[in-house]
Amino acid sequence: MERENIIFFVCAKFVIVKSSSSNNKKNEDFFLLAPVIHLYMKIIIAGKSGSGKDFLKSGLTEGEKMEERLLKPSVACTTRPPREGEEHGQSYYFLSEEDFLCGIEENFFLEWKVFNRWYYGTRNSDWESEANVFIMTPSVIADLEKRNLLDKDSVVIVYLDIDIETRTKRIKERVGSADELERRLKADEDDFRDFYPFFCSLIWILEPYFTVENILDSIRALNLVE
């Protein structure tokens, strides 16, 4: 049975759209309410390993130069080693564990977390600046909500809830052992078990072959401001 691409959001709006992205065609059924994405909007991407978070973040912020991009990415800090093609200061700020721990002590981070044995953190300066595309875990999102930092009128959560078969295939291309694969899948299940972020506008994606254009149309459709 073919899965459906369910895209829905709160603020008295609910939409279900059947997936047409399996043939890479833009879905013509989106009901677009707003012509532009407001530049002060914060877009938080959440998803398990292999769901396409980095792919989506890059697609939303693509451009030859950082200053030419319509949506500006938050550049997180991490202690994990760079993957092929990643650049310091563009993909992440790659820090030593010693430097990262020093940043924690100095309250340098808006949030931080240990994920798959590596430290990840978002700088306070990014949340307070014009950066508006972030990748965050469920626990971090919940913590920001408790701290009243998630304004429902300007924060959109894009949840990539991709099937385990697709994610397993993608993760196998990154890790070298079955134990590591199993550990990541289990950690994801634990992290996302009670993840229902209905306190913000929400776009929930089940289709593994979503396109960036579909996501952009959905964000525009939220029409959060007049």
**How much is the pLDDT for 105?**
96
For residues 44 and 154, membership in a common domain is answered with yes
In a domain, 213, yes or no: yes
Please say whether the beta carbons of 198 and 2 come within 8 A: no
- Which parts of the chain sit beneath pLDDT 70? 1-40, 63-70, 223-226
Give the pTM. Answer: 0.75
In a domain, 21, yes or no: yes
For residues 108 and 201, membership in a common domain is answered with no
Containing 123, the helix (H) or strand (E) segment is strand 118-123
For residues 52 and 136, membership in a common domain is answered with yes
Which of 130, 149, 166 is the last residue before a domain boundary?
Answer: 130
**How much is the pLDDT for 69?**
52
For residues 25 and 135, membership in a common domain is answered with yes
In a domain, 69, yes or no: no
**How much is the pLDDT for 183?**
86
Domain holding 108: CATH number?
Answer: 3.30.63.10
In a domain, 23, yes or no: yes
**How much is the pLDDT for 63?**
59
For residues 32 and 78, membership in a common domain is answered with no
Which of 113, 130, 147 is the last residue before a domain boundary?
Answer: 130
For residues 121 and 55, membership in a common domain is answered with no
**What is the residue range of 109's domain?**
74-130
For residues 112 and 204, membership in a common domain is answered with no
How far are the Cα atoms of 105, 137, 149, 211 from residue 143, in angstroms, in the given order? 18, 10, 9, 29
Helices (H), the chain: 53-60, 97-105, 124-128, 138-146, 164-172, 178-192, 212-221
For residues 142 and 52, membership in a common domain is answered with yes
For residues 153 and 113, membership in a common domain is answered with no
Number of domains forming the structure of the chain: 2
In a domain, 68, yes or no: no
One-letter identity of residue 79: T
Domain holding 213: CATH number?
Answer: 3.40.50.300
In a domain, 165, yes or no: yes
For residues 137 and 219, membership in a common domain is answered with yes
**How much is the pLDDT for 2?**
39
Please say whether the beta carbons of 8 and 206 come within 8 A: no
Three-state secondary-structure class, residue 226: coil
In a domain, 210, yes or no: yes
